[in-house]
Amino acid sequence: MNENLPASARELTDDDWALLALAEHTIESNTDAGPGQDGRHTMAAALVAGDGSRHSAVNLYHFTGGPCAELVVLAAARAAGARDPQVIVAVGNHGRGVKSPCGRCRQVLADAYPTIRVIVPTSSGPRSVAAEDLLPLAFDHAAEQISAAAPHSADPQALS
């Protein structure tokens, strides 16, 4: 497999490996599905904040789009007072390993925490990358808000 990793990709530190272990412990302790079974809690995420605090959470699967583990842990960490998330990782139950964030989570991370490091699987093993590198050419919500607030020209010539 030939991967084009972004320039921000780096090997995991000892702290990153410890964070990954926390996520694995969280899901193995809390999954409600046996191997090969569906369940509501099959993924966990862990993050470390700028103050060194560590937080973990599990997903809540629902066919309507229940929250992913990454979103749950971001909210739980914030509720616990963590204001500066630094690194995040998600893992699957039953030893399924590190999982990349889904598109919705990538967009949330890019909008809310563009410099957070995200541990992702690669052919060379897990690596951490900047969240902003996970979503090239992403929708820019902040720019869209500014654009929506700006007065628009009614001159059709301005569009040509």
Separation CA 117–CA 84 (nearest Å):
12
pLDDT tens digit string along 17-40?
999 999 999 999 999 998 888 899
Active-site residue set: 70
Task: Give the pLDDT band (50/70/90) at residue 57.
Answer: very high
pLDDT tens digit string along 76-128?
999 999 999 999 999 999 999 999 999 999 999 999 999 999 999 999 999 99
Ranges assigned E (strand) in 35-121? 43-49, 54-58, 85-92, 97-99, 117-120
Residue 10 is predicted with a pLDDT of: 96
127's enclosing H/E stretch is strand 127-130
